């Protein structure tokens, strides 16, 4: 099993100083993505018995925060890959886990497809159909904004099956699959977001994960739990990157005869960023502890971590742009990227409003 520090050092070397260029190009070179995937960095919680790295949630969280501090597009690929792996691990039977997890741990790339034109926050409105046909199933539907789909070898697709729902593993090379890049996304511009058209795609029935006709809520909640904790740690990374940029600039840049850091209103911005990073880190560490100790609090702690971290990342990135002012007001500057990327974190894996609804229900059930 690799040590988390080794994986962080390896990722740091592979990433180098390229993220601004990737953001401008709207893509990450295949070699970079494949190198990290083959080392297991993109889904580092896959157990060693399936060829994975076998990190626990806390260590994978710090790895995710590190990658997120450098490049939210690459961190988005990690989230998708890890979410696909987690879904297969939780919903798949033993042969499915053996077949698919070893592919992901070995370097194949995956994306997870829930959202549709008419089903965003309300995934019970999904219309994608998964229909039995002999020893195959046929998948038909439209998916939107699927992160990493432009890079993916396989998709975990959620849809209706009979009176219930199912999730199925679909190769992107299968006849009937079309992947169409989302043009000019606000942020995470190199994350390979795509519209995915599924036109009568036949896949073996053996690739329907863990049986058919399950509850949509159960399937979706299982997958999103990983997505949420991964995004939450990614937001910690955004805050750390902003702290680095802000601290350096505030010490170097002088106005009114002294460094910006010595102006108390600027110092307050630095203090608030530090507090945001510490709050987000602790929320994530607590959620990961719940994962690692299999605590029943895991789901609520994860939603809370994602909600708090994404709000702080969006506000913190705006603060960072404010402190750097014209120095950070260029599209590919790290704080400008952070500003665009962080806003998206308030929308995905359950928007902040949806998180608030979940948290309110939890509070009312616990404290009433
Ligand atoms: P809507 O559901 O139309 O919501 C619009 C607004 O109304 C939001 O502010 C929402 O919070 C609010 N709202 C909706 N319902 C309620 C309610 N009941 N109470 C209060 N407020 C409400 N999908 C995937 O399947 N896979 C991916 O990998 C993926 N990656 C994404 C990456 C990015 C960068 C983005 C932007 C989206 C991605 N999505 C992905 C889609 C994402 O999951 C949806 O955008 C998200 O669930 C919100 O759905 P929507 O955009 O349709 O907004």
Say if CB 342 and CB 238 are below 8 A apart. Answer: yes
31 burial class (0-12, 13-18, 19+ CB within 10 angstroms)? exposed
Question: pLDDT class for 80, splitting at 50, 70, 90?
Answer: very high
Nearest CA to ligand 1 atom 26: 146
Ligand 1 center from residue 350 Cα (angstroms): 6
**Residues near ligand 1 (Cβ within 6 A):** 80, 111-115, 120-121, 145-147, 188, 193, 344, 347-348, 351, 353-354, 357
Could you report the per-residue pLDDT of 92-127, keeping only the tens digit for each? 999 999 999 999 999 999 999 999 999 999 999 999
Ligand 1 center from residue 354 Cα (angstroms): 9
Say if CB 198 and CB 170 are below 8 A apart. Answer: yes
118 Cα distance to chain centroid: 22
Could you report the per-residue pLDDT of 197-242, keeping only the tens digit for each? 999 999 999 999 977 778 999 999 999 999 999 999 999 999 999 9
Q: Does residue 331 surpass a pLDDT of 90?
A: no
Encode burial over 150-168: b for 16+ CB neighbours within 10 A, e otherwise. bbbebbbbbbbbeeebbbb
Nearest CA to ligand 1 atom 29: 146
* Nearest atom of ligand 1 to the alpha carbon of 143: 25
CB proximity list for 39: less than 8 A, separation 6 or greater: 2, 7, 10, 53
Ligand 1 center from residue 308 Cα (angstroms): 17
Q: For residue 1, what pLDDT is reported?
A: 57
Ligand 1 center from residue 10 Cα (angstroms): 34
Nearest CA to ligand 1 atom 4: 121
- Average pLDDT for 3-21: 96
Mutation test of ligand 1: which of 73, 79, 87, 120 has the most ligand atoms closer than 8 Å to its C-beta? Answer: 120
**pLDDT: is 3 or 148 the higher one?**
148
Q: Can you list the domains of the chain with their CATH numbers? A: 4-109 (1.10.540.10), 111-207 (2.40.110.10), 216-367 (1.20.140.10)
| % of the chain beyond a pLDDT of 90 | 96
């Amino acid at each position: 099993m690799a040590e988390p520090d080794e994986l962080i050092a390896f990722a740091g070397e592979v990433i180098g100083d390229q993220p601004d260029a990737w953001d401008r190009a709207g893509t990450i070179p295949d070699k970079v993505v494949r190198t990290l995937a083959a080392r297991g960095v993109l889904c580092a919680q896959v157990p060693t018995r399936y060829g994975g790295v076998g990190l626990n949630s806390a260590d994978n969280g710090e790895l995710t925060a590190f990658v997120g501090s450098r490049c939210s597009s690459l961190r988005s690929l990690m989230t998708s890959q890890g979410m696909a792996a987690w879904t297969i691990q939780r919903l798949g039977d033993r042969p499915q886990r053996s077949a698919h997890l070893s592919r992901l741990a070995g370097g194949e790339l995956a994306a997870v497809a829930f959202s549709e034109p008419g089903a965003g926050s309300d995934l019970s409105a999904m219309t994608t159909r998964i229909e039995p046909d002999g020893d195959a199933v046929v998948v038909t539907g439209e998916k939107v904004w699927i992160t990493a789909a432009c890079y993916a070898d396989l998709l975990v697709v959620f849809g209706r099956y009979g009176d219930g729902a199912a999730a199925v593993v679909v190769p992107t090379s299968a006849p009937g699959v079309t992947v169409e890049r989302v043009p000019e996304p606000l942020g995470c511009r190199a994350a390979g977001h795509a519209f995915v058209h599924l036109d009568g795609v036949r896949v073996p029935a053996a690739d329907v994960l863990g049986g058919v006709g399950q509850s949509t809520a159960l399937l979706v909640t299982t997958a999103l739990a990983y997505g949420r904790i991964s995004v939450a740690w990614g937001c910690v990374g955004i805050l750390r990157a902003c702290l680095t940029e802000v601290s350096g600039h505030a010490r170097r840049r002088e106005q009114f005869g002294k460094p910006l850091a010595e102006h108390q209103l600027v110092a307050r911005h630095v203090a608030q960023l530090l507090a945001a990073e510490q709050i987000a880190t602790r929320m994530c560490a607590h959620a990961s502890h719940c994962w690692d100790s299999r605590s029943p609090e895991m789901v609520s702690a994860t939603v809370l971590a994602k909600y708090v971290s994404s709000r702080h990342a969006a506000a913190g990135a705006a603060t960072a742009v404010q402190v750097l002012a014209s120095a950070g007001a260029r599209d590919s500057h790290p704080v400008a990227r952070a500003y665009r990327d962080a806003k998206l974190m308030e929308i995905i894996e359950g928007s902040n409003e949806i998180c608030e609804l979940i948290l309110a229900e939890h509070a009312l059930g616990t404290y009433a």
